[in-house]
């Protein structure tokens, strides 16, 4: 009977270790998925931003609309990185993003 009990204890210990490893792997996969989603979101924003900038260069009416939107929504600290729309902030510390 003792041998059987030891075997059950070993099985329980092994199952516990496997569970802990599965949890670690699950958390790692979640972390990787989150990082990938951020990377895709950043790329999407860059592509959209580039398209918007190009369209603003070609269409003055669109540029005027974009400028109105930006003046209402851009935070003070972000204006320095948009000197085309906020020339009054072009001397600010835009490099300190």
Long-range interactions of 74-81: CB distance < 8 A, separation 24+: none
Mean pLDDT value across residues 65-85: 93
DSSP three-state, residue 81: coil
pLDDT digits (tens, 9 = 90+) for 20-67: 999 999 999 999 999 999 999 999 999 999 999 999 999 999 999 999
53: which 2 tokens? 């900038």
Question: Cα 71 to the chain's mean position, in Å?
Answer: 24
- Enumerate helices (H) and strands (E) in the chain, giving the number of each: 3, 0
CA-CA-CA-CA torsion for 62, 67, 70, 72, nearest 10 degrees?
Answer: -110
């Amino acid at each position: 009977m003792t041998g059987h009990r030891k075997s059950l204890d070993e099985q329980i210990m092994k199952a516990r270790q496997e569970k802990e490893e599965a949890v670690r792997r699950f958390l790692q996969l979640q972390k990787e998925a989150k990082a990938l989603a951020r990377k895709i979101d950043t790329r999407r924003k860059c592509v959209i931003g580039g398209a918007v900038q190009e369209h603003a260069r070609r269409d003055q009416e669109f540029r005027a609309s974009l400028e109105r939107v930006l003046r209402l929504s851009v935070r003070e600290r972000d204006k320095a990185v948009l000197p085309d729309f906020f020339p009054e902030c072009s001397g600010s510390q835009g490099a300190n993003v």
